[in-house]
Amino acid sequence: MSEHDAAPAAHTASTATTDTAARTMTFLTGGFGALNGSHCPGIERLTARVGAEQRLALHHGELLADVPSPSWIERDGDLLYATLENTDEIATLRIGTDPDSGALRLTELSRVPSRGSSPTHAAVAADDTGRKHLIVANYMDGHVSMLPIADDGSAQEPAQVLAGAGHGPLPAQEGPHAHWALPLPDGRVLTTNLGADRIYVHHWNDGELVRVGAVRLAPGTGPRDMHLLPMQTSGSGDEADWRVAVVDEWGDTVTLLGPDDIARHTAGDGSATDDADGIRVLQTIDLGGDASDQAASLAFMPWQILRGHERADLPGTDAPHAADGADPAAERPYAGLVYVGLRGSERIVALSWDGVRLARLAAPDKPGWRGRGVDCGGRRPRHILAVGNLLFVANEVSDRITVFAIGPDGAPTPAADMPSGSPTVVVRL
């Protein structure tokens, strides 16, 4: 009997909570399935419960959507967009409840080709007319597809496909590999080309996505994931000011991008910006990866949460009292910690973010979570999700989801784990 044939079971760690009432959170998981030689049956339900029994419990729920290899799931309200990486399709599903039982259910609205090979990430973006589209990064050929979203929320067949191009110096960079799409607050769209060490910049022109430039990174960097970080100016309404953290798979680095407001043509590290539409490299941080490592995924956790808001309050993670001399950064909503996965040495490493710059907490070779990091609880941490002060890690190759409770100083403590077939994404409902 496989793990998916067995009755759902709860998996707990010996961790206490001060809560008197149970709190339950629902998640969805996806990953690689049988067509990839892996074990994910489709989109499944996962429940995390912090209860009066004073422990965190994970419950492996039912299969909600029998779709092949949903390696990424993008949520937009009550809609889900799943990249079916092994069939080159995009599935749209609506979140709802069964009218009789009230149980959670997913209803498939559409399934369309991506017109690219191995769609690996998707993001919803509004064009210059206000209409929504799904931007899809196709890994194997580097194509970026633009799928209009219909009035009922379903993704339609691509209206545009921007061809991938280029290559890099490494064997894994034999050709273009699109990996991520990120809409910026100013309306532009960024996409990564892991194979050619490029981050492409796109504008909207009357509903059409137009590629206008690229940020060129050092050869062999391999830009993979991108994440907006909160800034000192957050809440000011200045959509032209933003910062993006880029996880560099082959460089084992994090690159910080931002507007080139001083109109320089070359960044200080040599990364050219003359064709990058006013975007430049602001910073590059070494993650201290081993020779076999590949960096993947990033999650941001604000100090305000770690210091007492939206906490699970598990043992060893109690928030400090004001008299404890908490860092003033705890009062700044834009400051916090960034956690990044390293596949190979199977670690999670931490960086600090003050609203302007990233910084290491300690030297990469220093033992402990501030330096070398902590064991990820499995093999190949593919996706990291921050929820309150909990960090969910999808360990793809070891078929496991591991949860860490983050203490008020940022220290990760294993809190619970459970089997999950080849997980590559975790989404909260």
Task: Please give the order of strands across the beta sheet that includes 400-406.
Answer: 381-387, 390-395, 400-406, 412-419
Q: Which residues, including other chains, have CB under 8 Å from residue 324's CB and lie 6 or more apart?
A: none
Tokens of 42: 């489709």
DSSP-derived 3-state class of residue 34: helix
Which residues touch 403 (CB under 8 Å, ≥6 apart)? 48, 56, 58, 390, 391, 392, 393, 414, 415, 416, 417
Query: How many degrees, rounded to 5, is the angle at CA 69 between CA 63 and CA 70?
Result: 70
Q: Reduce the DSSP state of residue 322 to 3 states and report it.
A: helix
Q: Are 320 and 326 in contact (CB under 8 A)?
A: yes
pLDDT value at residue 240: 77
Q: pLDDT tens digit string along 297-324?
A: 999 999 999 887 566 666 556 555 443 4
CATH code of domain 67-251+253-286: 2.130.10.10
The per-residue b/e assignment along 220-251, b for 16 or more CB within 10 angstroms, e otherwise, is ebbbbbbbebbbeebeeeeeebbbbbbbbbbb
DSSP-derived secondary structure letter, 37:
T
- The CB density around residue 3, as the number of other CB atoms within 10 Å, is 13
First to last CA, the chain: 29
* Domain parsing of the chain, residue ranges: 67-251+253-286
- Tell me how far CA of residue 85 lies from CA of 35, 115, 330, 337, in angstroms: 10, 12, 40, 31
Q: From CA 34, how far away is CA 32, in angstroms rounded?
A: 7
Angle at 260 between CA 176 and CA 204, to 5 degrees: 60
Regions of the chain where pLDDT drops below 70: 1-22, 52-54, 233-238, 262-274, 309-331
Residue 412 near residue 374 (C-beta atoms within 8 A): yes
Q: What is the pLDDT of residue 323?
A: 38
Rounded to whole angstroms, the Cα distance separating 359 from 346 reads 21
d(CA 48, CA 133): 32
- Give me 106's structure tokens: 């997913």
Q: Are 379 and 346 in contact (CB under 8 A)?
A: yes
- Could you give the CA distance from residue 180 to residue 137 in angstroms, rounded to a whole number? 6
Q: Whole-model pTM?
A: 0.89
The predicted pLDDT at position 170 comes to: 96
**Contact (CB, 8 A) for 407 and 424:** no
Question: Taking the mean position of all CA atoms in its chain, how far away is CA 207?
Answer: 27
